[in-house]
Amino acid sequence: MKSQDIESQIKNLLNTRFIGRQLHYYPHLSTTMDTARELVKKGASEGTVVIAGTQTAGKGRIGRTWFSPEGSLAMSVILKPPLKNLPQLVMIASLAVVGAIKHISGLDASIKWPNDVMIKGKKVCGILIENEVAEGKVNYADIGIGINVNFNPMDLPEISDMATGLSHESGKEISVVQLAAKLMDELERLYLAARDGAAIHNEWRQNMETLGKRIKVDTGKTIEHGTAEEVTETGNLIVRRGDGTLIEIVAGDVTVIKD
Ligand code: BTN
């Protein structure tokens, strides 16, 4: 199908005011993050979306690679939020994914701190946010969302242990077009609510599977072990170590310890 046809199919399903109204679909890209940043430099408006059929150099968090073969959704959304809403983007994006997955596939997904979306303990979606802040103003925030839709991560030995896909879990093919449109609807709804002062944090917390679990967190500088006790309103994770002390983690990679 032609890129223009896919763009029109998605746009026809949208209920948004601005997210996805400027939509760029490419069959193949290195990474939607770089394309989105180039569009920002050329003056792209808030809500502009880039989608790739496949990515050859998909970027994950902490310098990792993200696999985006045929059957994935790889999307970057350009936002220009007020500075006070920047920490909420992690929450907005992960909640939007959980909502869109439920609506389109019927599957229950949950959030592993900070923003991995999981089904039955396996990762189905990763989120990467890149932003530029100068003089107290957010120049842009690109929300990159990768979802394993109709490809089965079991076929990729590198990730087969920890990843899953929507069609594999639901036993049916899922429309990437419908999922992308619903995701944009959910993102805009939550983003506007957050900008109006809604308590996104509570909903995020309620959808988080990490709380109460014994975990290991790799912060990049230290490895912490303990129990995930709480998440703060700015999105940080509070961990209670074995000796009873508390530590607040701003960024890191969580592994849930199975009993
Ligand atoms: C992670 O869990 O490590 C984050 C993965 C983010 C992947 C998405 S796919 C769309 C966008 N383009 C990229 O290159 N990365 C993000």
Q: Over the stretch 18-63, which tens digit does the pLDDT of each residue have?
A: 999 999 999 999 999 999 999 999 999 999 999 999 999 999 998 8
Residue from 30, 145, 148 to probe ligand 1 pocket by mutation (most atoms less than 8 Å from CB) = 145
CA distance 135 to 99: 34
Is-contact 35 76, C-beta < 8 A?
yes
* Residue of 59, 151, 179, 183 with the most ligand 1 atoms within 8 Å of its CB, for mutation: 59
pLDDT band at 161 (very low <50, low <70, confident <90, very high): very high
The pLDDT of residue 199 is: 84
Q: Is there an atom of ligand 1 within 6 Å of 252 CB?
A: no
* Whole-number Cα distances in Å, 122 to 21, 103, 162, 220: 32, 19, 5, 22
| Any atom of ligand 1 within 6 Å of the Cβ of 59 | yes
Measured from the Cα of 64, ligand 1's closest atom is 3
Whether 24 is in the pocket of ligand 1, judged by its Cβ within 6 Å, is no
203-250 per-position pLDDT tens digit = 999 999 999 999 999 998 999 999 999 999 999 999 999 999 999 999
- pLDDT score of 135: 95
Q: Please state the atom number of ligand 1 nearest to the C-alpha of residue 33.
A: 12
- Asked if residue 254 lies in contact with residue 111, where contact means CB atoms within 8 angstroms, the answer is no
Q: How far is CA 203 from CA 29, 36, 111, 143, 253, in A?
A: 34, 28, 11, 19, 22
pTM of the model: 0.96
